């Protein structure tokens, strides 16, 4: 498993979304390592981590994170920040290893499982990926990933994201889609979350509507919700300064 590891202090583990890799956390690696020990892994099959044939599951990804922490000899409690699929994995990690966590940052994600339409869309995406390759999925997804403002004013960022997405293999992409389709619903556990939780969402997220973040914020006791303007699904890349500012405040006020 490949990972970036930078800084000192409370371990802050970043889990990337689909179909991305650890490079999506570049602004956090540089902007937050003065107050935390940043760990940003590539999930299995993604980025530079070894590929396994699948099937994958949110549970398996969460177990991988636990193994990585063991390998790094990190025994103190961590703050776990997951974006989208990374958020699904973070909630699964909470179910499996609650004692490992000092806090949660749920970014551009939802607690609910896939609806029946959502599951059908995953099946269509699997067929499309097998027929057209990774580019078929990337071309369909990219316009929905970013806010209009980002697409118009940050062409360099758009092409970095496009390259990152295109670097995934069809096998990993398909295994991710099936794992997300089959993931467990996490809404029932929200009311029992006893650790500080920050929820960050882009106001213009077209992949996961902001109502999902609002629903999690009202269900998790004491959760703090930040909706960032001019940001779509990749809120940490589209609004890096505001994103880092909110994480920084959360760490100072609720973790340390």
Residues found near ligand MLT in the complex (CB under 6 A)? 17-18, 84-85, 180, 207, 233
Min dist CB 98 to ligand MLT, Å, is 23
- State yes or no: cis peptide before 239, omega within 30 of 0: no
Min dist CB 110 to ligand MLT, Å, is 8
Q: Residue written as tokens 């619903």?
A: 185
The smaller minimum CB distance to ligand MLT, of residues 35 and 111, is found at 111
The smaller minimum CB distance to ligand MLT, of residues 32 and 145, is found at 145
Min dist CB 192 to ligand MLT, Å, is 23
- The pairs formed by 91-97 with CB atoms below 8 angstroms and a separation of 24 or more are 91/58, 91/186, 91/189, 92/58, 92/59, 92/61, 92/62, 92/183, 92/184, 92/186, 93/62, 93/65, 93/66, 94/189, 94/193, 95/62, 95/186, 95/189, 96/59, 96/62, 96/63, 96/66, 97/62, 97/66
The smaller minimum CB distance to ligand MLT, of residues 37 and 236, is found at 236
The smaller minimum CB distance to ligand MLT, of residues 37 and 46, is found at 46
Min dist CB 70 to ligand MLT, Å, is 25
């Amino acid at each position: 498993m490949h990972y970036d590891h930078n800084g000192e202090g409370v371990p802050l583990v970043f889990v990337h979304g689909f179909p991305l890799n650890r490079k999506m956390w570049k602004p956090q690696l540089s902007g937050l390592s003065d107050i935390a020990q940043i760990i940003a892994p590539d999930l299995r099959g993604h980025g530079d981590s070894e590929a396994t044939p699948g099937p994958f599951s949110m549970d398996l990804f969460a177990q991988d994170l636990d193994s990585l922490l063991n390998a790094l000899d990190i025994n103190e409690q961590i703050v776990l920040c997951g974006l989208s699929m990374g958020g699904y994995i973070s909630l699964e990690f909470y179910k499996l290893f609650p004692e490992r966590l000092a806090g949660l940052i749920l970014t551009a994600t939802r607690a609910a499982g896939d609806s029946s339409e959502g599951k059908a869309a995953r099946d269509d995406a699997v067929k499309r990926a097998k027929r057209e390759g990774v580019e078929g999925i990337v071309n369909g997804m990219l316009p929905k990933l970013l806010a209009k403002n980002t697409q118009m004013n940050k062409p360099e960022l758009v092409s970095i994201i496009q390259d990152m997405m295109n670097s995934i293999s069809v096998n990993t992409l398909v295994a991710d889609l099936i794992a997300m389709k089959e993931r467990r619903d996490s809404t029932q556990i929200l009311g029992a979350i006893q650790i500080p939780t920050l929820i960050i969402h882009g106001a213009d997220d077209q992949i996961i509507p902001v109502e999902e973040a609002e629903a999690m914020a009202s269900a998790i006791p004491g959760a703090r919700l930040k909706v960032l303007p001019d940001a779509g699904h990749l809120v940490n890349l589209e609004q890096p300064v505001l994103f880092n500012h909110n994480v920084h405040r959360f760490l100072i006020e609720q973790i340390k």
